Amino acid sequence: MDLCEREKVVAVASISFGATSLAPLYRPKWLPSSRLWVALGLVLLFAAYVGRDLLPDGLYVWPKQWLLPLLKMSNDVLNQLLRRTEIFGEPLRMWTRAGGEAIGLPMRGLQNLLTTGWTFPGSTPAETLTLPPLSWVSVVLAATYLGWVAGGRRLAVLAFATFAYFLIFDLWAAATLTLASVAFAIVVGVVFGLVLGVMLFRWGRLEAVLNPVFDVMQTIPPFSYLVPVLILFGFGPVAALVATLIFALPPMARAVVYGLRRLPDHTSELSSMTGASRCQGTSKILLPSARDDLLLGVNQLVMMALAMVIMASMIGAGGLGAEVLRAIQSLKIGRGLEAGIAITLLAVLLYGYGHSIAVRRPSHLYRPQPVRHLAILAAILIIPTVAGIAIAPLAQYPAELTISTADFWSRVISWLNSNWGDVFEATRLIITLGVIRPLLTILRDLGWVSIAACILCFGFAAATLSCCPVLRHTHPHRCHRLLG
């Protein structure tokens, strides 16, 4: 078969966070072009809108007899699973809470190290042993030093400025609590995401099973699974950790699959030629080669983990999310804005750490000195913390050195409401009455059949267009002719 006879056979890389595949697309002669599909979809919408009074109502309103009793079924299933299921005579929630506590031990240790310290109760108050958390000086200097080692001067300045912001605006306890929770969630998410991504890349059948699960995890509103998580894992940081992982894990796993599928064939051939085992080839050749796509997954993981901070505070996570939640409930806009900026700075800093470590190249001019770095880091953490036992300002940042812009922002909001309130209200009414409600009315008049058919036509148009990036650099004129 020569090139002219094969011009209708197009290799299409259909890669998305919903599904990842690499398969040939055969476009028969009878298949319309993308323009015709789009035109057909628009014609269907126009015909449905014009014929609203002529066509049957069943084409516009979903028949009640077709409604499925999913609400009752889901309630029965969840009630059976959460409240009546037993394993070895114990309720399911007892096992899940025990497992959650085991998973949350490292997170609680990190929270104690940064925020609360340790308390070992004795028989009398005098025998109670209390170990303080790390000094704020230690944490700031350690974060700055790690930033300098990982990413140089810019990251060190960013780390110092971020933690200084926490101190100056009296957000230290909340910020360190959020840092401990989110950092642990990110580490767990990266590890599980890498493992799941490699498994999906190796076994296509597992991908077919888990892809719908990932779709549900990403699209279901987080409030929908907060109640089951509360029942299974109780109220507290562990439940917040589980809810965060449910929301943030799928993008990391899919980014791993996406990066590994994009690698050229000679990368896998190189792994085989070197005699590496499958595990060695994956860890030392394939994953490093897909580094840029893995960083995209890490970025999404960090952003989604911090996006869950506020909602996780509703089930006992605390931290900066609780500060924002309290500010919203009490209409303290300024305090909420300060906490929101802190969350943003923390997200940028955590991604900066991960990105800097991932893109570092081995240097042949300087020999790595891990022992020296660990010794300096240990000195930074221990000396100010021990000195803080005798010098109170080293143990706790002086309250008189903190500031707050909450009153300023409250006055700004009041001034805007007083002087521009009518403009804001008019804008709201224009958007609501002039855009949203007419659009809702039009969609209702179009009906579910025409909208479903239009979406199907647009899907065929997108599938037809997807061949263009593959042929763009090889045969752009044939790609243009093929698409009509």
Taking phi over 0 as left and psi of -120 to 50 as alpha, with beta for the rest, 152 belongs to left
Please name the residues in contact with 19: beta carbons below 8 A apart, sequence gap of 6 or more: 211
Asked if pLDDT for residue 9 goes beyond 80, the answer is no
Read off the pLDDT of each residue in 22-45 and give the average, rounded to a whole number: 69
- pLDDT, position 24: 41
**Cβ 329 vs Cβ 272: under 8 Å:** no
Is position 294 within any domain? yes
- DSSP lists the bridge partners of residue 91 as 86
Structure tokens at 7: 């011009």
Report the length, in residues, of the chain.
Answer: 484
How many domains, in total, are found in the chain?
1
Q: What is the mean pLDDT of residues 343-366?
A: 78
pLDDT at 23: 40
Is residue 288 a part of any domain in this protein?
A: yes
What is the pLDDT, as a whole number, of residue 165?
Answer: 94
CA separation, residue 479 to residues 34, 35, 311 (Å): 12, 14, 47
In a domain, 478, yes or no: no
List the Cα angle 14/18/24 in 5-degree steps. Answer: 20
225 within some domain: yes
Q: What is the mean pLDDT of the chain?
A: 79
Q: Is residue 66 part of a domain?
A: no
Q: Which one has a higher pLDDT value, 464 or 12?
A: 464
Which comes out higher in pLDDT, residue 413 or 157?
157
Q: What tokens were used for 261?
A: 């599928």
Residue 471 has pLDDT above 70, yes or no: no
Q: pTM value?
A: 0.75
Residue-level pLDDT at 166: 93
Residues of the chain above pLDDT 90, percent: 10
Residue at 251 is within a domain: yes
Give the range of the structural domain holding residue 155, as residue numbers without chain letter: 136-412
Establish if 102 belongs to a structural domain.
no
Residue 53 falls within a domain, yes or no? Answer: no
Strand partners, 96: none
What single-letter amino acid sits at 316? G
For residue 287, give the CATH number of its domain.
1.10.3720.10
Helix (H, G, I), strand (E, B) or coil at 167: helix
